[in-house]
Amino acid sequence: MYEKFLDHPSKRNSSSCTKLLIVGLIASQEGYHACHNQWQMEKSAAYFNLTDKYYIFIRDLKKYNSINSFEVATQKCQEMNGTLVSIHSKEENEFVKNLVKSTREHLAFIGMYRRGSNFSWTDGSKADYSNWNENEPNNDQGIENCGEITSRHVFYGIDEGKWNDVPCDKLDVAVCQIECKMWK
């Protein structure tokens, strides 16, 4: 059926295409609003209007008995139709830092990971902003391949809101981001 439609442009029915487009837009809008409604009711989700995303703090990553708690965090975010957080501005960094601080945690994974000699975001977005602490990332002992954000000045000299590279099994907590998208 679709092959005929594609192979014979003269037989295309523009009113069918218009109806399909309208139905698709309505379904997309309904999904968009359902996504917002779901996360607005979730107590652990925080909405940031500058990014139009929800941020969710997840805990207890080590209870899954995985060698790599960063990988577990990535999977948990994906189960919520999200990703580990990628940070693209000073304002977003401050928002994420304050979210972590509100949970009384000092550190949390962000979606930054080492790819060769560089760091990339797990969601594939461009690394257009960074907030590494002084002398970071340093890949201490050659095993620091994942990124964390600090919510307070911590004992080993990482300043509040700064990033540090850490082993991927180090942390038990992470920040996910959920973007309610509408088809455009």
Task: Assess whether 14 and 72 both reside in one domain.
Answer: no
Neighbouring-strand partners of residue 121: 112
Task: Assess whether 18 and 69 both reside in one domain.
Answer: no
Q: Please give the pLDDT value at position 35.
A: 73
Name every residue whose Cβ is closer than 8 Å to that of residue 111 and which is 6 or more positions away in sequence: 74, 83, 84, 85, 86, 121, 122, 123, 147, 177
Q: For the CA atoms of 123, 136, 170, 117, what is the dihedral angle to 10 degrees?
A: 60
Question: Is cis: bond before 9, omega within 30 of 0?
Answer: no
Cα three-residue angle 158-130-97, rounded to 5 degrees: 55
Q: Please give the pLDDT value at position 115.
A: 93
Task: Assess whether 101 and 174 both reside in one domain.
Answer: yes
pLDDT in tens, 125-184: 999 999 999 999 999 999 999 999 999 877 677 789 999 999 999 889 999 999 987 544
Compute the average pLDDT of residues 111-136. Answer: 96
Task: Assess whether 28 and 54 both reside in one domain.
Answer: no
> What are residue 60's phi and psi, to 5 degrees?
60, 40
Task: Assess whether 35 and 59 both reside in one domain.
Answer: no
Compute the average pLDDT of residues 64-76. Answer: 88
Q: Please give the pLDDT value at position 36.
A: 66
Residue 4 has pLDDT above 60, yes or no: no
**DSSP strand E in 59-183: where?**
83-84, 107-115, 118-121, 146-150, 163-166, 174-179
Task: Assess whether 58 and 37 both reside in one domain.
Answer: no
Specify if 184 maps to a domain. Answer: no
Q: Please give the pLDDT value at position 155.
A: 64
Specify if 164 maps to a domain. Answer: yes
Q: Please give the pLDDT value at position 6.
A: 36
Task: Assess whether 58 and 69 both reside in one domain.
Answer: yes
**CB 123 within 8 Å of CB 113:** no
